[in-house]
A = this chain, B = another copy of it.
Amino acid sequence: MPDQDPARPTLADVAARAGVSASTASLAFSGSGPVAEATRQRVLAAARELHYAGPDPRARSLRRGRSGIIGVVIEERVREAFRDPIHIAQFDGIAEEIGHIDAALLILAASPAHPLGGVKAMPTEPVRPVTVEDAPIDAAVLMGCTPRLADSVSALRDRGLPVVAIEGFPAEGVLVIEQDNRDATERGARHLRQQGHERVAIITLPLDAAHHRGLVTQELLAIGSSATALQRLEGARAVFPDARAYAAAGSYVDEGRRAALEILSLPEGERPTAIIAQSDLLAVGVIRAAEELGIAVPDRLSVIGFDGVRVDGLWPYELTTLEQPAYEKGRAAGRAIVRMLEGGEAEVVAFTSVLRVGNTTAPPPAG
């Protein structure tokens, strides 16, 4: 019987057509060895005639032991991860650097299906997910990941793959790109303190895996797993130990607005005179809420953010914030990956945020 599927040509087919050996044909394509120009042309011609589209990348990556793919692990769905400008900038930085070794990025979502990690579901049906632990990658970058990934990480290590984390809990065998979340927030808080603020509230990024919203309780803190949120909270409370904190369900303007509406519902004498938001988007939401409630910023309410992204449409405000070098963090992660792939040891990199004072902070109203 004839071939159903007119089997794709293989390198051997091309070689045969061109009258050379397979290895010669291989060299003609990869350019990694000396081949006579005439031979090369003959091989390429044969390839064209057969509609051969080049060596199969799968076979190549098996043979070479490298796939040229770097995994980027996010713990939310794409929509959420990329709604955050910080993530985009970091991602871009990684792409920039690994572009130098001509690798590409594979988006891996740490499946929320295993809420607490550990137990790997038995395959009831023959599914073969491309997961963190099971993807043809040469290395992985974790973006703001929680300890939930501990198992995946150890699997990666067993496979001998370099792992870099941009913020997040340090784990054995993971190079962490650090950010001074705690100290930076403390610096921001101190700025408020110096201006005379005493009643301050905090709006945090999601603390726990479920993105619980609301007043931050001891219970919530106990299950909190976001290093970034916890560190920033710690920094704020280093200056204002008793400040109330509200967890947002995500780093969005709407979430900031929602939390602020609750915070600001107190009568003027009791409500906070300043709000520390853990991201610029949250801070913008605070400003929106204040506008709606007729509370003037910064005269009656000071607002400070974190990130230093230029939020579109904030004019005439210029947010007081802690500017973090997100793109540079991504690049550092990318460089670390490249170095480790080349067999070198990458060193820990720590980044610092800079307090940028805008016009959303001022001394509290007298009285």
Contacts and interface: CB of A to CB of B under 8 A. Distances in A.
A125 to B, nearest CB: 9
A8 B53 contact: no
Contacts of A339: none
Contacts of A30: 126, 128
B52 A158 contact: yes
A81 B201 CA distance: 36
Contact of A128 (B68, B92, B160, B314): B68
Given A88-B83, A106-B106, A311-B313, A130 B78 contact: no
Given A82-B82, A92-B78, A313-B312, A130 B108 contact: no
A123 interface: yes
Interface size class of chain A, counting residues whose CB lies under 8 Å from the partner chain: 35 or more
Interface string A123-144: 1001111110111110000000
A308 B91 CA distance: 26
A159 B77 contact: no
B82 A88 contact: yes
Contact of A126 (B31, B53, B54, B104): B31
The count of identical subunits is 2
Contact of A58 (B62, B104, B158): B62
A85 B89 CA distance: 15
A96 B56 CA distance: 28
24 contacts: A31-B123, A52-B158, A53-B156, A54-B134, A54-B155, A54-B159, A57-B134, A57-B136, A58-B67, A68-B129, A68-B130, A68-B135, A69-B69, A78-B95, A79-B88, A82-B88, A103-B130, A104-B107, A104-B108, A104-B135, A105-B107, A252-B312, A284-B312, A312-B313
Interface in A70-102: 77-79, 82-83, 85, 88-89, 91-92, 95-96, 99, 102
A54 to B, nearest CB: 6
